[in-house]
Amino acid sequence: MPDSENSATPVTFPPAFVWGAATSAYQIEGAVREDGRTPSIWDTFSHTPGKTVGGDHGDIAVDHYHRYREDVAMMADLGLGAYRFSVSWSRVQPTGRGPAVQKGLDFYRRLVDELLSKGIKPAVTLYHWDLPQDLEDAGGWPERDTAYRFAEYAQIVGEALGDRVEQWMTLNEPWCSAFLGYASGVHAPGRTDPAASLRAAHHLNLAHGLGASALRSVMPARNQVAIALNSATVRPLSQDPADLAAARKIDDLANGVFHGPILHGVYPESLYVATAGLTDWDYVLDGDLTLINQPLDALGLNYYTPALVSAADAAAQRPRADGHGSSDHSPWPAAGDVAFHQTPGDRTEMGWTIDPTGLHELIMRYTREAPGLPLYITENGAAYDDKIDSDGRVHDPERVSYLHGHLSAVRRAITDGADVRGYFLWSLLDNFEWAYGYGKRFGAVYVDYATLQRTPKSSALWYGKAARTGALPPLEPAA
C-alpha cells in the first residue's frame, strides 16, 4: 500500500522544507553550437546511428538556452522555491582545459540572476554526464587526469557563481557515468569495458573530492557542497545465503563503490574481492581516499525504484531486468552470477515498479550511514505517456499519485528521525531522455516538441500547491 495515499490526515512538512524541481543541461538547453560550446560525449553519442531511439539528440532539446526566462517565470507561477540545474562543461570550458568561455558562463549568470529575481534558490550541479568530447578522446573517466581537469572546471564555475549560488553538487549519479557509460555502453561514451568502468568509478570519486576542495577554495564558507548519488535500495529475492550474497555484491557495486570512499574513506573489502578477476585497483594511489573523503554539507539521493536480486540460475537464460536499458553487456562488473527480477506492483512508462517504501528505506539507511548529515531528495519522479486533452490540458493523475506516495514516504522518514531538508521533482520539463530520446516524458510540464510550447500538467499544479502550502493536496477520487 503506498505510504499514506488514502489517509485522511493531511501530510504536512516542516516550514523550511525546500520544494524544487530539477533538470540537466544536455536534456533541455539545446544551442549546442552557440557561444563557443563544443561537443560533449552526449552530442557524439546521440549522433551515432543506433544509439538513441529514433536517432533523437539534444541539438535543440526544449531550447531552454533561449527560453530560460519563460521557464523561470513558469517556476515562479507554480510556487517552486528552488531549481536544480546542471552546467554544461563544454559550454564553459570547451576542451575541458584552459580558460573559460565568458559567453558560456554568462548564460548561467543570467539564469541565476533570473531565478534570484523571482525568489527561487538556484542549486548547481557541475556534472550531469556531458563530458567534453576532447577529454573523452584523451581517455575519459578511466584516465586519472580527467579528475584534475574537473577540479579546474569546478573552480571556474565556483568563482563565477559562488557569490550568488549557495547549494552545489559536484556530480550527478556517478554510477551512471561509470557503469552505463563504460560497462554496458547504453550511455555515452558507449564503451563496454568492465575493468575501465571500475577505473572510471574511482576517478569520478576522485573528481568529487578534488572538485569539492576546489569549490571551497573560491566560495563563501556559507555555501553547501554535496553530491547526488543514485544509491539503490537492493533487496534479496529470499533469505537464502546465495541470494543474500548476490544482494551484497550488487549493493557494493551500486552503493559502496561511491559512498564507501566519499563518506568513510574506504572501499568495501568485499568489492575488492568480488572484482579481483577484473582489476587489482592499483589506480587507487596513496592519499586518494583522503582526497575523496571530503566533509560534505549535505547528501543528495536520487530514487526511482528498488532492485530485487538473487543468485543466478546458470541453466536459466533471461533478460537482465535491472531497468538500465538493453545491452549485451552488463553494467554490473563481475556480477554475472547475479539475476535481477521485476518487483511486483504497478509500473511507470519506464517499466519501473512504483514503490515508495524503497525511498523511505533509502533515507533511513543514509540517516544511519551518515548521522548528522542533512539529506535532500535530488531526483524523484515518473514517466507516463502524457497527452494533451481536447481542452488543451494535460491530466496525469498517475504522476500525482506517484508524487503523493513518495512525498509521503519522505515525510514518514522525517517523522522517523531523518534530516531531509528538501525535495527536487524530476523533472521540471519533458525533455531528451538520454538513449530513450523524446519518447519518455518525465516532466511536470508538458512540452510540444514541434512548437516547444509549455503546458503545466495537473501534477505541476498539484505539486505547486504543495510547495506553496507545505502540505500535500488530497488525491482526486478514483473515477
Q: Which residues are catalytic?
A: 173, 379
- Do 170 and 212 contact (CB within 8 A), yes or no? yes
The three cell numbers of residue 250 are: 550488487
Task: Single out the residue of 171, 355, 191 nearest to residue 259, CA to CA.
Answer: 171
The residue count of the chain comes to: 479
- Strand ranges in 244-383 using DSSP code E only, listed in sequence order: 299-302, 307-311, 338-341, 375-379
3-state secondary structure of 234: strand
Kindly state the helix (H) or strand (E) to which residue 423 belongs, with its residue range.
Answer: strand 420-426
How far from 310 is each of 22, 57, 314, 466, CA to CA, in Å? 33, 36, 12, 39
Strands lying side by side in the sheet with 338-341: 234-236, 307-311, 338-341
The three cell numbers of residue 88 are: 554544461
Query: What letter would DSSP give residue 407?
Result: H
* Beta pairing class for 224-229 and 338-341: unpaired
Contacts of 170 (CB under 8 A, 6+ apart): 125, 126, 127, 154, 207, 208, 211, 212, 215, 225, 226, 227
- Do 397 and 352 contact (CB within 8 A), yes or no? no
Distance CA 173, CA 302 (A): 8
Query: 95 exposed, middle or buried (CB, 10 Å; 0-12, 13-18, 19+)?
Result: middle
Distance CA 176, CA 164 (A): 29
Indicate the angle between helix axes 145-161 and 102-117, nearest 10 degrees. Answer: 50
Neighbouring C-beta atoms of residue 251, cutoff 10 Å = 23
